[in-house]
Structure 1
Amino acid sequence: MAAAPGPSPTIVEYFEGEDFYRCGYCKNETGSRSNGMWAHSMTVQDYQALIDRGWRRSGKYVYKPVMNQTCCPQYTIRCQPLHFQPSKSHKKVLKKMFKFLSKGEFSKGNNEEEPMDSQMDDAAVEDFVLKSKLDIQSDRRPLSEDYNEVIESEVKEKEENLEAKEIQQFNQSHAAKESLGSGEPSRTVKGVPSTPKPGKGADLSKPPCRKAKDIRKERKRQKLILKSQTDKLEDFQTEREPQLLPSGKSKLNQPKSIEDFIFDTLPEDAAHQLKFTRFLCSSPLEAETPPNGPDCGYGSFHQQYWLDGKIIAVGVIDVLPYCVSSVYLYYDPDYSFLSLGVYSALREIAFTRQLHEKTSQLSYYYMGFYIHSCPKMKYKGQYRPSDLLCPETYVWVPIEQCLPALENSKYCRFNQDTKAVDEERVNELDRLRVLYKRTIMPYNIYKKRQKGPSDEAIVQQYADLVGQTCSERMLLFRS
């Protein structure tokens, strides 16, 4: 039995550095600049490698900002879903959705939507509005009944009660056990008499007085012993807890996860029903279903959001070997009060965690570009923990380490190792693959057959941008 044919190779048509054009972020008429190529077809492996070098796709057009020249440098950002915990604003969106679905209650306040990415110029579909991912709401009031705050309040109250009990027990135990002292005048300390009996000096039937400082030290020592014993008990319980807790339930002393909010069961008489469907969609990415991959396979997908039988939003995502990459979301503006950008991003983070259970190497959520110089586009940095891609060495750096440098300069090299270089820089241009006159050949053969002026400078630029591995795997179309 013949083996199933593999995916078509990546075929791209490269365009040398474009002229400066209008920036969609700062509105500078001649401030933005990027390199681009048209993807006739592309494997998920190659696109994964490209976005890890700062590329991003809009339809079949794949582009990379010229970071040290463009007015608003765009840094590739990825979130770490396996360690992600929703913030208060994220929980607010999730609770708002649950309240709307269960009771039909909502508040159409002033919702400040995020501007669309300048490269997202695909036509809007009928009454849908194309918006950038991860829209953030202007209302940031703290939650009055936040889960963490309730737990912390309960823990604090229990600690205070325990401390009062400890002090009482401490005084009682010392009153019974301490031997007679030297007759030192007593002091006003709880559990110890403040004055001796008239005419008799110190009361020999009572324990000797102690300095308040000594009592405080003893109390502290007792509390440390108690805390040590409590910690050991908690460690013992933690080891046994996974076997005792039902699957999918979070422990009471831990914050709620996205899944706890998203997959919370709605009441039987819920006011609305929200359903999700996922379909492969048209894209340059070749769909793949390897045996060790996720159940849905790799490729581009439409995630459809259906409310009471009506489609209200469609998110486009790319499922790649190591990540879920958010492309964009378009939705019915009548439902903007539900903060669908934030909600869909949180669902996609949860989806990434689901895929990771089957495919362990798939463990990141790519959010596109982070633009620190544009105030309204810094919101992606709130999905923590997250990393930014160094534009010179293409290594990932925690965003917390990048922010101080970005405050001083729009363009930054994040890698602190001054000797580090791009490990994928092209050293052998002759090994680059070319598609010329329907024939695949290495670049050194193409050069011999080429007629007219040499295009080696353009090919070298392309190779430097895509890296050695991609230059040897992808086919560069030349006419």
Structure 2
Amino acid sequence: MAFWAGGSPSIVDYFPSEDFYRCGYCKNESGSRSNGMWAHSMTVQDYQDLIDRGWRRSGKYVYKPVMNQTCCPQYTIRCRPLQFQPSKSHKKVLKKMLKFLAKGEVPKGSCEDEPMDSTMDDAVASDFALINKLDIQCDLKTLSDDVKESLESEGKNSKKEEPHELLQSQDSVGEKLGSGEPSHSVKVHTVPKRGKGASLNQILCRKLQEKKKKNKLLALMILRFSTELALQSRASPPSLGFLFMTNSSLSFASPSEAYHQLEVRLVPASFEDPEFKSSFSQSFSLYVKYQVAIHQDLPDECGKTEFTRFLCSSPLEAETPPNGPDCGYGSFHQQYWLDGKIIAVGVIDILPNCVSSVYLYYDPDYSFLSMGVYSALRREIAFTRQLHEKTSQLSYYYMGFYIHSCPKMKYK
């Protein structure tokens, strides 16, 4: 069967729904039912029209659930990146990644669905607000100097304060710290006792000052990185806050002075592409590690044939129209390179109206970075915004199917 609306045709073999089969979501042995077709080749516009009608692809197989018969109805959902505003939990994931890249900090007891802290230090929160209001015409050096001056002036003001102005007892300090107020709101001034070393109040005050200084330095780094992005992309600094850009408009990387180096490369999913071919072995090994650790698959079930058929083969014909994005349309792998090795790969389709997420696999050793949430924020949503600047009709992020009865889909 072939169908087209001008240009190259899409060639498919159609398979109408006949039998029920095992459901991959609820594990019902005979509960799932769908229509499908094997796509030998397909234009990006034809696939765009199909996913808008509830179809999705797995490799070259394109299918649509029979909604009134299947055990787990699957709904196509999409996000509007241009209107998207990150929640507190999203900001925490971004902040966690920045701390890891900038200072090498590894969070303790962290996981994918970790709840967001109820409060955020005012020092960091105020700099978040500043980032979102920055004028792109501002000079990076001027911005950095302004922040430094504010830090220096704050230091001078703190030196002017006399220790005798305010005296609080240890009991009142304990009430403040246990009252639920942010720690930076506790101002303690004590009179040193001769010959007896530092008092509890002095120790607490010193620790609070050190914490505040660290937050200010972190906020300065956030400000600098975000402004660098704005000056290079010539667009308003993104509200997501922690995007790092190299000279390539489609390649993201952390600054050279960071503790860890993170680079995200967009590679066409094609063995004809030299970069995809050279990184295939490492990408495949990561896939096996992920499937075995996260989905408890047997190593024998994760062969190169299965990997290639599932995540490398695509029916989409690559297109590079003059009015399209610089990378063109088609299927791609977004490779997250940390200090020279791949730690995550996002498989996506770039279509005329959207970026469509196919699959994500990552190194389980880096689960503490919440790679699923981070990749959705940093690459799919932020990336769609970037592509929209060149191609105005490309303004959606498709997150795949949503299954309301499946707990694993709640994050969507």
TM-score (norm 1): 0.50
Cα distance between partner residues in 2 of 1:108 and 1:53: 43
Cα distance between partner residues in 2 of 1:45 and 1:327: 17
The match for 2:328 is 297
Structure 1 residue 151: deviation in Å?
Answer: 8.6
Cα distance between partner residues in 1 of 2:76 and 2:123: 33
Paired residue secondary structure (2:357): strand
The match for 1:9 is 9
Q: Is the 8 A contact 2:254 2:263 kept in 1?
A: no
Structure 1 residue 302: deviation in Å?
Answer: 0.9
**Pairwise CA RMSD:** 2.7
Cα distance between partner residues in 2 of 1:64 and 1:378: 21
The match for 1:184 is none
- Cα distance per residue 1:212-249 (max 9 Å; x no partner): xxxxxxxxxxxxxxxxxxxxxxxxxxxxxxxxx97545
Of 359, 362, 384, 1:331 maps to 362
Task: State the one-letter code of the partner of 2:404.
Answer: H
Greater radius of gyration (CA): 1
Task: State the one-letter code of the partner of 2:16.
Answer: E
Cα gap change, 1:45 to 1:270, in 2 (>3 Å): same
The match for 2:176 is none
Q: Is the 8 A contact 2:244 2:255 kept in 1?
A: no
Task: State the one-letter code of the partner of 2:243.
Answer: I
Q: Is the 8 A contact 1:104 1:272 kept in 2?
A: yes
Cα distance between partner residues in 1 of 2:407 and 2:116: 16
Gaps (5+ residues) in structure 2? 1-5, 131-229, 246-252, 270-312
Cα distance between partner residues in 1 of 2:72 and 2:117: 30
Q: Is the 8 A contact 1:324 1:365 kept in 2?
A: yes
Q: Is the 8 A contact 2:255 2:261 kept in 1?
A: no
Of 141, 166, 170, 2:117 maps to 141
Cα distance between partner residues in 2 of 1:106 and 1:319: 33
**Alignment of structure 1 residues 420-435 onto 2, 5 Å:** none
The match for 1:85 is 85
**Alignment of structure 1 residues 345-360 onto 2, 5 Å:** 345-346=376-377, 347-360=379-392
- Cα distance per residue 1:352-399 (max 9 Å; x no partner): 11111111111100000111122331221xxxxxxxxxxxxxxxxxxx
Structure 1 residue 109: deviation in Å?
Answer: 2.5
- Cα distance per residue 1:407-434 (max 9 Å; x no partner): xxxxxxxxxxxxxxxxxxxxxxxxxxxx
Paired residue secondary structure (1:263): coil
Cα distance between partner residues in 1 of 2:244 and 2:340: 19
The match for 2:399 is 367
The match for 1:47 is 47
Cα gap change, 1:263 to 1:110, in 2 (>3 Å): closer
Cα gap change, 1:103 to 1:343, in 2 (>3 Å): same
The match for 1:280 is 268
Paired residue secondary structure (1:261): coil
More helix by share: 2
The match for 2:239 is 257
Paired residue secondary structure (1:355): helix
**Alignment of structure 1 residues 377-388 onto 2, 5 Å:** 377-380=409-412
Cα gap change, 1:249 to 1:37, in 2 (>3 Å): closer
The match for 2:63 is 63
Q: Is the 8 A contact 1:77 1:368 kept in 2?
A: yes
Paired residue secondary structure (1:262): coil
Identity fraction in percent? 77
Q: Is the 8 A contact 1:94 1:262 kept in 2?
A: no
